[in-house]
Chains A and B, each alone.
Chain A
Amino acid sequence: MIEPGLYHILFISATLFFIGVYGFFTRRNLVTLLMSVELVLNSVNLNFIAFNKYLWFDKMDGLFFAIFIIAIAAAEAAVAIAIIINLYRSHQSIDVEHAEELKH
């Protein structure tokens, strides 16, 4: 095993990104789709932090991008869960196959 550096972290984040994409392709339940999106967002954050640490350590812009992505991800998750609960109330199901119409 060699000393980990920038490339190792980029490999991990790319793998995590495509794990999230795989989940997004295969899952049919809205809550699990949301989990896949969280994995994708986290892999992007990891990339930003790695670039900041190893390439542009004289600035902190990557760090700020990661902080803002976390804030927006929190807002996104809250709105998504409100929509999911509303959908469950009108359809009694949160499967994407059953949610064909926006208004019931």
Chain B
Amino acid sequence: MTGSTIIFYLLAALTLVSGMLAVTTRMIFRAAIYLLFSLIGIAGIYFWLQYQFIAAIQIVVYVGGIVVLIIFSIFLTQQTGEKLPKQKIGRKVFSALASFCALALVLVQIAQHEFVITNGQFIEPNVANIGHQMLGVNDGGYALPFEVVSILLLAALIGCIVIALSSKPKTA
């Protein structure tokens, strides 16, 4: 057992335990903080896999952007310190049962499946290679999806402003 293995299991435990707490705790602000730790754990797994670029994106976008946005919306819409109402026990039991059965099915399928490994040359996933393929217009380039995502982000930006704009009371 090496140090790398221990770090992997620690990151996995951090991700799963804080993810579990994020969906079960009744304090909504704590749920956001547990979600933060779960996302950091996933970023750690990306670092462990030596995909540094995607780990950095994960930290910048999720931890720095989405979780902060969620915390802001909690402050805007919720009385802080107030617990969420209790759920019906039947709903909890049946949800847990359904999720657990589906999880067991998927785990059995994964464990039985034999994956085929490619025999190509290893490509280093560094920023130079990613940039060349991301903006490439040749075969395998991702220039068109990149532009489409830019348009989507612009549309989302305008949509957010329009939706959240305070509507003036109509004059009769």
Asked if A and B are interacting partners, one says yes
User: Within B1-30, which residues are at the interface with A (CB < 8 Å)?
Assistant: 1-2, 5-6, 8-9, 12, 15-16, 19-20, 22-24, 28
User: Do B78 and A31 touch across chains, with their CB atoms under 8 A apart?
Assistant: yes
User: Do B164 and A57 touch across chains, with their CB atoms under 8 A apart?
Assistant: no
User: Do B122 and A58 touch across chains, with their CB atoms under 8 A apart?
Assistant: yes
Contacts of A83 in B (CB 8 A): 163
Contacts of B12 in A (CB 8 A): 8, 12
User: Do B85 and A28 touch across chains, with their CB atoms under 8 A apart?
Assistant: yes
B residues lining the A interface (CB < 8 Å): 1-2, 5-6, 8-9, 12, 15-16, 19-20, 22-24, 28, 31-32, 35, 38-39, 42, 45-46, 49-51, 53-54, 57-58, 61-62, 65-66, 69-70, 72-74, 76-78, 84-85, 87, 91-92, 94-96, 98-100, 102-103, 106-107, 110-111, 115-118, 120-123, 125, 129-130, 133-134, 140, 142, 145, 149, 152-153, 156-157, 159-161, 163-164, 166
